[in-house]
């Protein structure tokens, strides 16, 4: 009888230790019976199931944000005595240049079943997929483009590429963000890249200055051409107005001449003489019908 009571007590203790489980407020419990998921328990609190060997309870946190790091930090930032990670630190750009990259990937569990059973180590797969995404992204960029477009823009492209990679693996995770914590040339050539970046900056400055100068000269040329065009148009209009005035005057004289030819001719003669005689320095007045000896004008200064 004592043996039976002891056996029952031991069974009760075993059941209490393995058949009762607690679900936290931020947890989800997946209960497997003989390896097959039979229930998903999301209600927080104490729950009862079958003892270990029959049931197995896996607790996951769907709302938890997990973080993995891809690549090692630059050598100047490494802590002495800490072994570097086994992930890639240097990646090749499309123009065959090396660049140091360190990225932080944040993800959450989207499908608990896939997350638990699709792979033994999902975090490691995320790291490798991130390495592949970085490699594919940088392979389409030149070193100048990588170091100038900025970390945020490049991280966005890497995140899109990473989602495409993880979609094929069906790990049941959702990538929330990718951020680049290090993006720099290798230390051995960092000085050369700094000088190159300075030269590019100086080139861009000179290009902007030349464009500004060209725009200024172009605006000045437009202004001068418009001024010349306005002057020519004004001269054109004045010439037309003068021609019209002369034409009107001629028509008026013609009309008067047709009415009184003799009077009009005399008046025109007198008006013409009155206009040109004052322009002469010396004048010789003779009687009508008499000859003129022009030799008397030879000695005149």
Residue 300 has pLDDT above 70, yes or no: no
Summarize pLDDT for 259-281 with one digit per residue, the tens: 888 888 888 888 888 888 787 77
**Count of positions (residues) in the chain:** 301
H-state helical runs in the chain:
2-18, 112-117, 122-138, 143-148, 151-169, 190-259, 261-276
pLDDT at 104: 92
Q: How many CA atoms lie within 13 A of 263 on its CB side?
A: 5
What DSSP character marks residue 203? H
Cβ–Cβ under 8 Å, residues 43 and 25: no
Task: Determine how many CB atoms are found less than 10 A away from the CB of residue 100.
Answer: 19
pLDDT at 122: 87
Summarize pLDDT for 156-176 with one digit per residue, the tens: 999 999 999 888 888 888 999
The mean pLDDT of 68-84, rounded to a whole number, is 52
pLDDT at 291: 66
Query: What is the C-alpha to C-alpha distance for residues 167 and 125, in angstroms, rounded to an integer?
Result: 12
pLDDT at 167: 87
Mean of pLDDT over the chain:
78
The domain covering 66-76+85-185 belongs, at the CATH homologous superfamily level, to Band 7 domain (3.30.479.30)
Of 1-5, 165-169, 231-235, minimum mean pLDDT range: 1-5
Token pair, residue 216, equals 């200024």
Place of tokens 């069974």: 11
Instruction: Return the percentage of the chain with pLDDT > 70, whole number.
Output: 72
End-to-end CA distance of the chain: 168
Summarize pLDDT for 172-220 with one digit per residue, the tens: 889 999 998 888 887 777 777 778 778 878 888 999 999 999 999 999 9
pLDDT at 141: 85
The mean pLDDT of 150-156, rounded to a whole number, is 84
The mean pLDDT of 99-116, rounded to a whole number, is 87
Task: Determine how many CB atoms are found less than 10 A away from the CB of residue 98.
Answer: 16
C-alpha angle 252-257-263 in degrees, rounded to nearest 5? 120
**Residue ranges covered by each domain of the chain:** 2-60, 66-76+85-185, 250-297
């Amino acid at each position: 009888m004592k043996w039976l009571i002891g056996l029952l007590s031991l069974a009760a203790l075993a059941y209490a230790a393995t058949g009762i489980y607690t679900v936290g407020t931020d947890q989800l419990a997946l209960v497997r019976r003989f390896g097959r998921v039979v229930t998903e328990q999301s209600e927080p609190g104490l729950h009862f199931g079958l003892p270990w060997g029959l049931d197995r309870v896996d607790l996951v946190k769907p709302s938890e944000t997990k973080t993995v790091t891809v690549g090692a930090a630059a050598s100047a930032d490494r802590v002495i005595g800490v072994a570097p990670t086994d992930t890639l630190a240097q990646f090749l750009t499309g123009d065959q240049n090396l660049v140091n990259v360190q990225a932080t990937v944040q993800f959450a569990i989207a499908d608990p079943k896939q997350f638990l059973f699709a792979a033994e180590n999902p975090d490691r797969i995320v790291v490798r997929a991130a390495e592949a995404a970085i490699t594919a992204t940088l392979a389409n960029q030149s070193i100048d483009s990588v170091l100038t477009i900025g970390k945020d823009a490049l991280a966005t492209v890497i995140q899109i590429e990473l989602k495409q990679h993880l979609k094929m693996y069906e790990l049941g995770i959702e990538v929330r963000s990718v951020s680049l914590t290090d993006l720099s040339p290798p230390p051995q050539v960092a000085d050369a890249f700094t000088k190159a970046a300075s030269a590019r900056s100086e080139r861009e400055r000179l290009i902007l200055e030349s464009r500004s100068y060209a725009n200024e000269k172009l605006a000045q040329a437009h202004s001068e051409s418009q001024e010349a065009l306005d002057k020519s148009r004004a001269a054109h209009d004045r010439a037309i107005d003068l021609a019209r005035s002369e034409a009107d005057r001629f028509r008026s004289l013609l009309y008067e001449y047709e009415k009184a030819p003799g009077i009009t001719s005399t008046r025109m003669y007198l008006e013409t003489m009155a206009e040109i005689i004052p322009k002469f320095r010396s004048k010789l007045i003779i009687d009508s019908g008499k000859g003129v000896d022009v030799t008397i004008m030879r000695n005149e200064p």
